[in-house]
Amino acid sequence: MAIKMCGIDASSKKTGMAFLNNGKLVHCGLLDFSSYTNREERMALMCNAILDKLDEQKPNILYIEDSWNAANVETTKLLTRILGVTYAWALKNNCEWNSILPSTWRKYCGIEQGKKKRAELKQASIDYVKQRYKIDVNDDVADAIALSDGVVNYFKLM
């Protein structure tokens, strides 16, 4: 049986998604709704786009970056909606659902964290993907790919 995994770096404006089959990257992309200023409209579009992509790719394991440490309460509320939407999709589609902290997946990708600022960590993900996959992606997609790789690397060590 193929292991089809989805990794998601969620945001209310730009969400990166990566899909792996048996640990190999097969698809990645960015859902970009940053041009929508109405938050409710943007969230509806984002959530529906995520659901459409999950329906299209049909993963059996889903990992999404945990949002408990978001910058502020409003951001946390928005990201919690996305967590709920992905959790509901997973329940309905017999898909294992997990959330993961950025510090955890970065550790298993070998991305040094220390006292680095957010921009440095984002660049480290971009560099990781460029080196490993020889592709140029933005930070959101890079985080989704690296998150997915971090999960695979963790399970390789078990």
pLDDT tens readout for residues 7-44: 999 999 999 999 999 999 999 999 999 999 999 999 99
Q: How would you classify the pairing of strands 14-21 and 24-32?
A: antiparallel
Q: How many CA atoms lie within 13 A of 144 on its CB side?
A: 26
Sheet holding 96-100, edge to edge: 24-32, 14-21, 4-9, 61-65, 96-100
The phi and psi torsions of 92 (rounded to 5 degrees) equal -70, -25
pLDDT tens readout for residues 121-145: 999 999 999 999 999 999 999 999 9
CB atoms within 10 A of CB 129: 26
Residue in 76, 145, 69 with CA at minimum distance from that of residue 105: 145
Q: How many CA atoms lie within 13 A of 100 on its CB side?
A: 27
Q: Which residues pair with 30 in a beta bridge?
A: 16
Under DSSP, is residue 114 helix (H, G, I), strand (E, B) or coil?
coil
pLDDT tens readout for residues 77-127: 888 999 999 999 999 999 999 999 999 999 999 998 888 898 999 999 999
For the whole model, what pTM was predicted?
Answer: 0.94
